[in-house]
Amino acid sequence: MHNLDGYSIKDYGEMVTDPVRTRAFVTALTQAITPDSVILEIGTGTGFFALLACKLGAKKVYAVEPDNAIEVGKLCARDNPDTDKITWIQGLSTEITLPEKVDIVIGDLHGTLPFYNFNLLSMRDAVARHLKPGGMILPSRDKLHAAPIESPEDYTTIDQPWAQDVYGLDLRAGRRFLVNSWWRRPVTKTVKFLSVAQCLGEIDYANITSPNLDGECDWPITSDGVVHGLSLWFDSDIGPHASYSNAPDLPGLVYGNAFFPLETPVRVKSGERLVFKFSAKLIGEEYVYTWTSEHIDETGKTLARFMQSTFHGRPISRKKLEFASPDFMPVISDEGILALHVLQAASEKASVGEIADRLMSKLPAHFNDREQALAAVQKILQKYQTK
Ligand SMILES: C[S@@+](CC[C@H](N)C(=O)[O-])C[C@H]1O[C@@H](n2cnc3c(N)ncnc32)[C@H](O)[C@@H]1O
């Protein structure tokens, strides 16, 4: 089964116990649910909001989650009244068909930023295929905000390991990957804003036209200091009277907030400007973030300009580049050959035991005993069999 985010049960528990986040969703659900409500929860995790929807009197709940965490929800359902209204579906909301359209779609698919995996596409699909016309989607709107910050602590992640003298070694070549990366700031770190936050763009969940976002901020510097980077966060309207924000100057939420470094920290003075352009683009299965920053003095002269992108944030392996060429002739690994035999036998409707026996006769050098062959077969089938 898909494991999009790889959350542990501990992580799901921390989401539920985040008082600000969970309270906002509880408030919105309490206001929205009526005895006629049919609800879809996208990404139910361990089922908390689905169980809550039953408690609040919903008529029917579809709880969808690809992760095995959904089993925890089913177990908890046994200990709570009225939870037989829940249909648990292990899978992706984008790949299922429901027997009816729903009144409310709820899904907290946020990461540190609203862009996370296919979350915006999932919400768009839910509105198009699962939600009744005029139905409600929770969250309803995110506003992406940014501010230039002084945060030497964040910059030590770049400067300390990738420096000229690290135990006598020059490691500066690694620096370029870090300055083209962003990271989640732990909520405990302090931060100094060097200008007032501005909005980079909005996501209206009922009307998502694209998973991408482009935005621009033009900040008048309001305090002297050193800009180490930009902090990005979202203010989320969950329902009409329920909202929260993971801004770095507010009590920390489970999401943390994002830090996008400048290529080099810049010393700024009141009266100067920092112009920031930001783009989030879903390319294949991943978001690529690109950000340009221009430091401009009182007279309009550019003092520094940086263009950074997560596209340059990871080293590229020469081997993988070769592999991208259509002329490249692949050689299948031992593991691949094993998978080939297992899948071939499975497609011929052999049982797990029969597949293991066939493997042992075809690849005798691979296994010490039948137990080992069975384990190898199960590992491969776990990945490819229909759940
Ligand atoms: C942030 S967790 C939220 C868990 C729980 N609903 C909560 O709010 O406490 C997001 C979950 O959404 C799931 N998810 C992401 N996209 C999904 C989709 N299209 N369909 C179903 N689940 C999805 C992930 O596997 C993950 O478990």
Taking residues 194-220, what's their average pLDDT? Answer: 97
Which of 136-140, 275-279, 332-336 is predicted least confidently?
A: 332-336
**Structural contact between residues 11 and 250, judged by C-beta atoms closer than 8 angstroms:** no
- Cα–Cα distance between 378 and 382 in angstroms, integer? 6
Q: Does ligand 1 come within 6 angstroms of the Cβ of 109?
A: yes
Please tell me the distance between residue 236's alpha carbon and the centre of ligand 1 in angstroms. Answer: 17
Please tell me the distance between residue 137's alpha carbon and the centre of ligand 1 in angstroms. Answer: 15
Closest alpha carbon to 282 in 213, 215, 355:
213
Q: Give the pLDDT score at 268.
A: 98
Closest alpha carbon to 381 in 354, 362, 360, 368:
354
Q: Give the pLDDT score at 145.
A: 98
Q: Give the pLDDT score at 188.
A: 66
- Cα–Cα distance between 144 and 240 in angstroms, integer? 18
Q: Give the pLDDT score at 331.
A: 87
> Whose Cα sits closest to atom 26 in ligand 1?
43
Taking residues 168-186, what's their average pLDDT? Answer: 95
Q: Does ligand 1 come within 6 angstroms of the Cβ of 24?
A: no
Average pLDDT over all residues of the chain: 94
- Cα–Cα distance between 135 and 340 in angstroms, integer? 47
Taking residues 264-269, what's their average pLDDT? Answer: 98
Q: How far from 221 is each of 24, 54, 329, 386, CA to CA, in Å? A: 33, 50, 56, 57
> Whose Cα sits closest to atom 11 in ligand 1?
43
Q: Candidates 2.70.160.11, 3.40.50.150, 1.10.8.60, 3.40.50.970; correct CATH number of 142-319?
A: 2.70.160.11
Please tell me the distance between residue 307's alpha carbon and the centre of ligand 1 in angstroms. Answer: 33
Taking residues 306-313, what's their average pLDDT? Answer: 96
First to last CA, the chain: 7
Q: What is the pLDDT of residues 36-49, one digit of tens each?
A: 999 999 999 999 99
Report the share of the chain in percent with pLDDT over 90. 85
Homologous superfamily of domain range 9-108: Vaccinia Virus protein VP39 (3.40.50.150)
For the cut 90, the answer to whether the pLDDT of residue 186 exceeds it is: no
Q: Does ligand 1 come within 6 angstroms of the Cβ of 125?
A: no
Q: Does ligand 1 come within 6 angstroms of the Cβ of 4?
A: yes
Q: Does ligand 1 come within 6 angstroms of the Cβ of 112?
A: no
Confidence band for 4, pLDDT divided at 50, 70 and 90: low
Closest alpha carbon to 44 in 27, 58, 29, 65:
65
Q: What is the pLDDT of residues 355-380, one digit of tens each?
A: 999 999 988 888 999 999 999 999 99
Please tell me the distance between residue 74's alpha carbon and the centre of ligand 1 in angstroms. Answer: 16
Task: Tell me if residue 60 falls in helix, strand or coil.
Answer: strand
Taking residues 155-174, what's their average pLDDT? Answer: 95
Confidence band for 5, pLDDT divided at 50, 70 and 90: low
Residue of 23, 61, 105, 108 to mutate, ligand 1, most atoms within 8 A of C-beta: 108
**Domain parsing of the chain, residue ranges:** 9-108, 142-319, 334-384
- Cα–Cα distance between 204 and 278 in angstroms, integer? 18
DSSP string for residues in 329-374: -----HHHHHHHHHHHHHHTT--HHHHHHHHHHHSGGG-SSHHHHH
Q: Give the pLDDT score at 3.
A: 47
More confident call, 317 vs 219: 219
Please calculate the CA angle 4-9-15 and round it to the nearest 5 degrees: 85
Please tell me the distance between residue 66's alpha carbon and the centre of ligand 1 in angstroms. Answer: 8
Taking residues 173-194, what's their average pLDDT? Answer: 90
Q: What is the pLDDT of residues 28-81, one digit of tens each?
A: 999 999 999 999 999 999 999 999 999 999 999 999 999 999 999 999 999 999
- Cα–Cα distance between 179 and 226 in angstroms, integer? 16
For 173, other C-beta atoms within 10 Å of its C-beta total 9
Q: Give the pLDDT score at 84.
A: 98
**Pairing outcome for strands 198-204 and 183-185:** unpaired
For the cut 70, the answer to whether the pLDDT of residue 171 exceeds it is: yes
For the cut 60, the answer to whether the pLDDT of residue 228 exceeds it is: yes
Please tell me the distance between residue 12's alpha carbon and the centre of ligand 1 in angstroms. Answer: 10
For the cut 60, the answer to whether the pLDDT of residue 262 exceeds it is: yes
Tell me whether residue 37 is exposed, middle or buried, using C-beta atoms within 10 angstroms of its C-beta: 0 to 12, 13 to 18, 19 or more.
buried
Q: Give the pLDDT score at 326.
A: 82
Report the share of the chain in percent with pLDDT over 70. 98
- Per-residue tokens: 369: 């005993």
Q: Does ligand 1 come within 6 angstroms of the Cβ of 90?
A: no
Please tell me the distance between residue 32's alpha carbon and the centre of ligand 1 in angstroms. Answer: 21
Q: Does ligand 1 come within 6 angstroms of the Cβ of 44?
A: yes
Which of 31-45, 199-213, 308-322 is predicted least confidently?
A: 308-322
Please tell me the distance between residue 80's alpha carbon and the centre of ligand 1 in angstroms. Answer: 22
Taking residues 254-271, what's their average pLDDT? Answer: 96
Q: Does ligand 1 come within 6 angstroms of the Cβ of 64?
A: yes
**Structural contact between residues 214 and 278, judged by C-beta atoms closer than 8 angstroms:** yes
Closest alpha carbon to 181 in 304, 311, 317, 316:
311
**Structural contact between residues 15 and 39, judged by C-beta atoms closer than 8 angstroms:** no
Q: Does ligand 1 come within 6 angstroms of the Cβ of 179?
A: no
Q: What is the pLDDT of residues 84-129, one digit of tens each?
A: 999 999 999 999 999 999 999 999 999 999 998 899 999 999 999 9
- Cα–Cα distance between 179 and 293 in angstroms, integer? 13
Identical fold between 9-108 and 142-319: no
Q: Does ligand 1 come within 6 angstroms of the Cβ of 45?
A: yes
Q: How far from 74 is each of 10, 206, 336, CA to CA, in Å? A: 17, 29, 36
